[in-house]
Amino acid sequence: MIFDIVIIGGGIAGLMAAIEAKNSTNKVAIITKGNLFKSNSSNASGGINATLDAQDKQSIEQHIEDTLSGACGLGNKKTITYMCTQAPKIIAKLVSYGVDFDKDANGHIAQRYFSGGNTKRTCFVGDKTGAAIIQVLIRKAKSVGVTFIVNTFAMNLTKLKNSVSGIVALRRFDSSVVVYPAKSVILAGGGFAGIYRGNSTNSVEYTGDIFAIALRAGLNLKNMEFVQFHPTGFVKNGALISEASRGEGAYLINSEGVRFVDELGTRDVVSRAIAREIQGGKRVFLDLRHLPKTQVMTRLPSLYSMAQMQAGIDITESVLEVKPIAHYSMGGIETDMTHTSIKGLFACGECAANGAHGANRLGGNSLLEGAVFGALAGQEALKYSKNRDYLPIDYNIVVKDIHAVDYIFDADTSKNFNAMRINLGHVMFEHVGIFRDHEGLIKAFDYIRYLRGESGTLHCINKERGNNVELISILELKNALEVAEAIILSADKRVESRGSHSRSDYPTSDKKYQKSTMVYEIKKSCFHVWFEDSGLINKIRNYCTSPISR
């Protein structure tokens, strides 16, 4: 099937892009790997930041300053200014689509405090904001005629010279490789924190596929070392405990009953404080016992239910044990607002590194960034696609992907890909987690290189092509390993601590590193990493180096 515009990803960025890209005559499609309702946007419980009065220039400027401050010297002021200025319009648009934000006593949209902010600017729907927004956007997208192609795994881009021509994808229901020609493509496939499997708030489906696709298409990845760890996850399974709880006034206490950190500090600061308590042999708890039960039940109903189901406690009477967990990726595809270096290809949301978050994201800014730049990407893609012809598909890429799928089916294996994915997650959390050092990064890099070699020997045990879960899992693992290498190399390159990137061997920030890291994959498992203004950008295709010194 042929579309004018194809979007990969069904979270808030992808849905906003599709709605804006659709007009009365064109064809727009969203491709999602799985269920529409399983995006990270749906799990973003706490809220979306905005100054509600577009004429309140002082409050908008404060939002800009808070975001720049949180970005620790790597925020792009143009991008951040656009995002914060567009915020009132985006909230108004979401309301017009049917999002029913909680109201205050005067009937106005209620707002709560969130991490890194100096004022109440986070709009919310209880503690299920993301899910509420996504449900409304899905209805809106369907009403304007967007096509949803679900349970379809994007494999690669096709292009002619430096212009995009379509998407190669794998249909789950029959394991066939298909092509979707398009005049314009938008990458909105979310983040890569799911690589930290077993130690992540992300769904297991978030394996960094979109970043691997970008690398193979010749795009640069930017600031991949900046992985945000959410301060509060359930100890048992890592499920997200929304920052809404602390926004409503919950405390963080250790096993001695002591509050040890400003609960609404930036996430990097709070996560490290909790991690140090745990390393010191203490346990950490979320304490809501001092809050009125009616407040908990009305503002945090999802947390109340989850605590009962997963921990067996009533949070109005007992404390809830927590731990930091991999949550969000600030780094991603190098993007100027939404434009990539490939013509007709745009990126938005968590997969794009446009400078909106820099080295550390403020709570409540992720849904805003996804909505604002998703809308912009849709507008830009629509503009690009008008009066253009379809470009030829590079069937060399298609044939290569067909052969890759056939190879996974064509032999037997004794190796356990699930064990590899779990081991990858544990190694990343241990050595490329909240605290890092050169020695640990080398260990992680060497192990992942080993796994990447082993992944080439993986085959499906079940040879049936209909809805083969093993096939997708193997392809996901290959992508995750490719992206993990880029994360580690970027982390080793940045020999300082900044934002969410904390090096125990380089514990302070260095002004000379107040610039972005860049990663380019010259060929499989051969990367070049540099700082953005180092003048090497035109040389990287001419040689291959070993980025981690031995």
pLDDT digits (tens, 9 = 90+) for 424-480: 999 999 999 999 999 999 999 999 999 999 999 999 999 999 999 999 999 999 999
244-297 pLDDT tens trace: 899 899 999 999 999 999 998 888 999 999 999 999 999 999 999 999 999 999
272 is catalytic: no
Residue 350 has pLDDT above 90, yes or no: yes
pLDDT the model gives residue 549: 36
Sequence spans of domains, the chain: 3-225+328-385, 230-326
| pLDDT bucket at 414, cuts 50 / 70 / 90 | confident
Mean pLDDT on 354-368: 95
pLDDT the model gives residue 128: 92
| pLDDT bucket at 545, cuts 50 / 70 / 90 | very low
pLDDT the model gives residue 286: 97
DSSP conformation letters of 351-386: GEESSSSTTSPPTTHHHHHHHHHHHHHHHHHHHHHT
pLDDT the model gives residue 542: 37
* Mean pLDDT, the chain, integer: 94
Mean pLDDT on 519-546: 68
538 compared with 188, residue with greater pLDDT: 188
Mean pLDDT on 230-242: 90
542 compared with 25, residue with greater pLDDT: 25
pLDDT the model gives residue 537: 41
Mean pLDDT on 366-377: 98
36-66 pLDDT tens trace: 878 889 888 889 999 999 999 999 999 999 9
Residue 115 has pLDDT above 80, yes or no: no
448-459 pLDDT tens trace: 999 999 999 999
Residue 547 has pLDDT above 70, yes or no: no
Q: Tell me which H or E stretch contains 293.
A: helix 293-299
pLDDT the model gives residue 465: 95
Residue 539 has pLDDT above 50, yes or no: no
| Per-residue CA distances from 181 to 93, 168, 169, 225, 389 (Å) | 31, 9, 11, 33, 11
Matching CATH number, 3-225+328-385, of 3.40.50.920, 3.50.50.60, 1.25.40.390, 2.40.37.10: 3.50.50.60
| Per-residue CA distances from 423 to 163, 196, 347, 419, 477 (Å) | 38, 9, 30, 6, 11
312-344 pLDDT tens trace: 999 999 999 999 999 999 999 999 999 999 999
Q: How many residues are there in the chain? A: 550
CB 193 within 8 Å of CB 201: yes
pLDDT the model gives residue 540: 39
69 compared with 39, residue with greater pLDDT: 69
Pairing assessment for the beta strands 221-222 and 517-523 based on DSSP bridges:
antiparallel
Tokens representing residue 192 in the block: 């890569």
Task: Give the whole-angstrom CA distance, residue 27 versus residue 146.
Answer: 7
Task: Give the whole-angstrom CA distance, residue 110 versus residue 14.
Answer: 26
Of 267, 272, 361, 452, the catalytic one is 267
The highest-level CATH class for domain 230-326 is alpha beta
Task: Give the whole-angstrom CA distance, residue 535 versus residue 513.
Answer: 15
Mean pLDDT on 67-87: 97
Residue 473 sits at the vertex; the CA angle it makes with 472 and 478, to the nearest 5 degrees, is 100
Residue type, 433: G
